Amino acid sequence: MSYQKEISLIKFYVAGVLQKVVDRARQVHGGLGMTDDTIISFFFRHERAARIYDGTDEVHKMSVAKRILQEYSGRTVR
């Protein structure tokens, strides 16, 4: 049993949540959130890498769409 669709959905969702959380934390902390002295700046610098590391959001969306089409049609989609 392949869980590729579920894994792609989870990666896409978690990376998006991370981006929103880091952005809100930066907003709350204002200018201090931009300095290298806080953990928020570390997460800000690395959250984009989390979205790209195992494929971009677009790649995950396409993977999920193909799997859904395969399930719906019962055929292999290229």
Question: Cα–Cα–Cα angle for 18, 22, 27, nearest 5°?
Answer: 150
How many domains does the chain contain in total? Answer: 1
Question: Cα–Cα–Cα angle for 42, 44, 64, nearest 5°?
Answer: 125
How confident is the model over 8-30, as pLDDT tens digits? 888 888 888 988 999 999 999 88
Residue 78 placed within a domain: no
CB neighbour class for 35 (10 Å; exposed up to 12, middle 13-18, buried from 19) = exposed
Indicate whether 47 pLDDT > 80: yes
- The pTM of this model reads 0.68
Residue 16 placed within a domain: yes
Cα–Cα distance, 34 to 18 (Å, whole number): 17
Q: Who has greater pLDDT, 31 or 1?
A: 31
Q: What is the mean pLDDT of the chain?
A: 82
CATH of the domain at 18: 1.20.140.10
Question: Cα–Cα–Cα angle for 61, 64, 70, nearest 5°?
Answer: 140
Indicate whether 1 pLDDT > 60: no
